[in-house]
Amino acid sequence: MELNKLDSFKLFESVFNNSGIAIALVHSSGKLLNVNKFFCDWLGYSKEEMLNMTFAQFTHGEDVDADVELYQDLIEGTRDYYQMEKRYITKS
């Protein structure tokens, strides 16, 4: 069964909003475009606060360079995805 665009969007939206994992949509500049409730609750920031941040602002300082390098590779198309363990900075 093939999903049409509207059904695909609704499915993505449901997974995004109801997921038990943190999800952020990030612009190529590093600015957050959207975050789910789980991510906000996990880090303690409101959605509005997070949408005014870049991912580097809530990534531990010692992890930023590696994250930025991998992210840049992704944006440039030299890798299809990346995975890393990193530390986050919570609001508290």
Residue 13 has pLDDT above 90, yes or no: yes
CA–CA distance, 34 with 26 (Å, rounded to integer) = 7
Model pTM score:
0.82
Q: What is the pLDDT of residue 87?
A: 96
Q: For residues 24-39, b (16+ Cβ closer than 10 Å) or e, as one string?
A: bebeeebebeebbebb
Place 83 in a pLDDT band, splitting at 50, 70 and 90.
very high
